[in-house]
Structure 1
Amino acid sequence: MEDVEMKVRTRKKSVRDFFTVFDGSHPSEYRIVKKNGDTTIKTLNHPSSKKIFYPNVFLSIVQLDFVWICAIFLSCFLLSWLVFALFYFLVAEAHGDMLKDELHVEMPPCVYDVSDFIEMFMFSMETQTTIGYGTRYVTEECPLAITLVVIQSILGSFLLSVLTGVVLFKFQEPKKRKHTVLISKVACVFENDGNYYIEVQILNMQRSQVIGPQVSAFCVMNLPDGSGKCRLDMELDACHVKSRLFFRPRIYRHRIDNKSPFWEFDRRDFEKGDYEIIVVMDGQDEITDSYVQVRTSFLSSEINWGRQFKQMTPTRVGNMFKLNFNDFTRTMRSRTMSDDSASVASRSRRTSLASGSITEEDMESIEMSYFGT
């Protein structure tokens, strides 16, 4: 009987429990990449911020939080309407349109049906938004007012195009789609026929598929000589899946061999070591064709020794296939494995081969059938 790891439920699960958009990191856990994909790296002694911001003002605004973008969007329109309304009002005041005596009754105004600043503000808004002129419209009496209308129309179109592009790029950011791609909160280390593996599970929550997903990983750990942290690449291979589509949950495995940074890691090193595994998934959404990137990280406290993810097998109901989402968070105990490192297990394997208890061809066939190749 499978020993399935079950978590005690103290409350009803919500959407927040399933998505990685919220950072579940403990304050005492220092990591380069948070669970929600945000990075914690800040640069020091960089050039002046003005030299960086102004040449790339568009990209700098896109990188702001959505609240700030909405504030900039509203402020730009309101400020432009207000400034041009002030210009129109000064021109009308200089022309004498605001005077209410008999000497100016028959004089054609610069802008019809405008008697105060509030109505001039309405005229400015109608001009820039091209809503259309009703009773308020500019006349040929004031060439300066006509010039202001032309300038406001050009600048208004430019402002609308820039701000619309900012909002569009903000909605199409790769990390927006990441909220619908779920990466397991833990990674598992297990043994199969003398070989050690690290595996993570990834699930696409949206109906639209991620085309050609590419998953890569690397590890950041302290060097044994005490010279500081280094980045070491890790190879991740999809288990049993070669399709470019993302129809069902995928398990990606890293084989711990002599090229792996975890070759000498035993159980204590995995559970207490100072390292961080960073996983990145890239792909394209099939509907919008937009770029998708999801990333997360695993610390030593998020490594399950001697366990594997339970396969999420779809069940057919009528003409549809259904997946039980509860299986995504479950792991099962793998075959009994020692607390030794992969290098020790490899030496034991070579000893078994040398004794003739198992042949190399049998071992290769077992590995090939295990990975579905």
Structure 2
Amino acid sequence: MINRKAEVQRRIVSKDGHNNVRIDNVEGMVRLYLHDIWTTVVDMKWRYKLTLFSSTFVMTWFTFGVIFYFIGLGNGDFDAGLNSNHTPCMMNVETLTGAFLFSLESQTTIGYGFRYITEECPLAMFTLVAQLVITGLAEIFVTGAFLAKLARPKKRAETIKFSQLAVICRHQGKLCLMVRVANMRKSLLIQCQLTGKLFHSNVTQEGEKTQIHQSSVDFYMDSSSECPFLILPLTFYHILDDQSPLAGLTSENLCTREFELLVTLNATMESTAATCQSRTSYIPQEILWGYEFKPVLFSTTGGGYVADFNFFDKVQARNDANFLSNNSEKEKHEEDYKNE
């Protein structure tokens, strides 16, 4: 394999699928985020989410504790020399700390024993009902957002592996651009579909130049653009014909062209039926002309197969001599696995 040093080039999507576009100078960004508070909370980083999760309980306990304290203060429960016939709003609540503990016990449904509310204070009863309703809704929201982040298929997409390089060679008599994709888990991904977008500058017929123009790049496996399941490392290819947005690409102008190929795999998780999406991108320096992927799948003596990911990103030059030696090389690797 020829070592090619990638030059520094702007990328819209990083190799691990993250967005490199920064949004700046948006008026009212905070207001927009607050309007969609659910997505904002779900997208929070874990350290902020855990802080929000814990602070929601502590703040509601303290806030309603202060309210209960002022209710007792207004009722004269904390005055010195109270009449023996005086009935306080909350029994055994004499300080702000006691009011906080009463609020905590009420919200967590620990049960009343030492501190409890009396029938002589309707305002305290109304506050107690309001606390249980409001904090119940807040707990449902925060807990739901917590569980939604845990169940997001984003983490499942991290176990989908793309080849670091793309290759261009002939496949079934046609010049094709190929990428390799693999599922790193034993659980199946079904209804898999690989799509591509080509980002490049473009000049319209009216003479308007666009810095980023998007063109669709279709990827196929055999005769279909969709595979039933992803259980083996698969190679998807794009035909470089006249209809391709990469038409006119040659080995000479490959390194001088400026474009970025975004590759996206959409799949459904068999275990949960949730959809997941994994992305990567390739720039011209990461595309090898005249190379093919080395075999990664070998048979074993037990009648099964093994996918050796030591060869997942390995490529070899494509020529007639290599075509003749491919089978012997694969048989050699299979023989090594049988002897192990």
Q: Is 1:154 paired with 2:133?
A: yes
SS in 2 for 1:292: strand
- Whichever structure has more helix as a proportion of its residues is 1
Q: Does the CA-based 8 Å contact 1:312-1:324 persist in structure 2?
A: yes
Q: Is 1:97 paired with 2:66?
A: no
- The aligned counterpart of 1:230 is 213
User: Following the alignment from structure 1 to structure 2, what is the Cα–Cα distance between the partners of residues 116 and 318?
Assistant: 75
- The aligned counterpart of 1:141 is 120
User: Following the alignment from structure 1 to structure 2, what is the Cα–Cα distance between the partners of residues 92 and 33?
Assistant: 59
Deviations 1:57-110 (A, max 9, x none): 2223223323322222222222211110100111122233334x5535664332
Q: Is 1:283 paired with 2:283?
A: no
Q: How does 1:1-373 map to 2 (within 5 A)?
A: 5=1, 28-43=8-23, 46=26, 48-49=28-29, 52-99=32-79, 101-104=80-83, 107-192=86-171, 195-223=174-202, 227-228=209-210, 229-239=212-222, 243-316=227-300, 318=302, 321-335=305-319
Deviations 1:94-138 (A, max 9, x none): 233334x55356643322333322232122122222233342221
Deviations 1:303-358 (A, max 9, x none): 12221112321434648643222121222221269xxxxxxxxxxxxxxxxxxxxx
Deviations 1:246-305 (A, max 9, x none): 111111101111111222111232233211000011111111221201111111121122
User: Following the alignment from structure 2 to structure 1, what is the Cα–Cα distance between the partners of residues 90 and 298?
Assistant: 70
Q: CA deviation at 1:189?
A: 1.3
Q: Does the CA-based 8 Å contact 1:281-1:293 persist in structure 2?
A: yes
For this pair of structures, how many residues does the alignment match? 314
Alignment RMSD (CA, Å): 2.8
**Distance of aligned partners of 1:272 and 1:102 in 2 relative to their CA distance in 1, 3 Å threshold:** same
SS in 1 for 2:239: strand
- 1:65 corresponds to which letter in structure 2? K
Q: Does the CA-based 8 Å contact 1:172-1:290 persist in structure 2?
A: no
User: Following the alignment from structure 1 to structure 2, what is the Cα–Cα distance between the partners of residues 95 and 321?
Assistant: 79
Q: Structure 1 regions of 5+ residues with no counterpart? A: 8-25, 338-373
Q: CA deviation at 1:218?
A: 1.6
Q: Does the CA-based 8 Å contact 2:167-2:290 persist in structure 1?
A: yes
**Distance of aligned partners of 1:27 and 1:313 in 2 relative to their CA distance in 1, 3 Å threshold:** closer
Q: CA deviation at 1:203?
A: 1.0
User: Following the alignment from structure 1 to structure 2, what is the Cα–Cα distance between the partners of residues 222 and 142?
Assistant: 72
TM-score for both structures, normalised by structure 2: 0.82
Q: Does the CA-based 8 Å contact 1:188-1:305 persist in structure 2?
A: yes
- 1:238 corresponds to which letter in structure 2? M
Q: CA deviation at 1:216?
A: 0.3
- 1:221 corresponds to which letter in structure 2? H
- Whichever structure has more strand as a proportion of its residues is 2
User: Following the alignment from structure 1 to structure 2, what is the Cα–Cα distance between the partners of residues 153 and 71?
Assistant: 22
Q: Does the CA-based 8 Å contact 1:97-1:104 persist in structure 2?
A: no
SS in 2 for 1:237: coil
Q: Structure 2 regions of 5+ residues with no counterpart? A: 322-340
Q: Does the CA-based 8 Å contact 2:221-2:227 persist in structure 1?
A: no
Q: Does the CA-based 8 Å contact 2:296-2:312 persist in structure 1?
A: yes
User: Following the alignment from structure 1 to structure 2, what is the Cα–Cα distance between the partners of residues 226 and 190?
Assistant: 34
User: Following the alignment from structure 2 to structure 1, what is the Cα–Cα distance between the partners of residues 174 and 317?
Assistant: 16
TM-score for both structures, normalised by structure 1: 0.75
**Distance of aligned partners of 1:94 and 1:216 in 2 relative to their CA distance in 1, 3 Å threshold:** same
User: Following the alignment from structure 2 to structure 1, what is the Cα–Cα distance between the partners of residues 8 and 199?
Assistant: 18
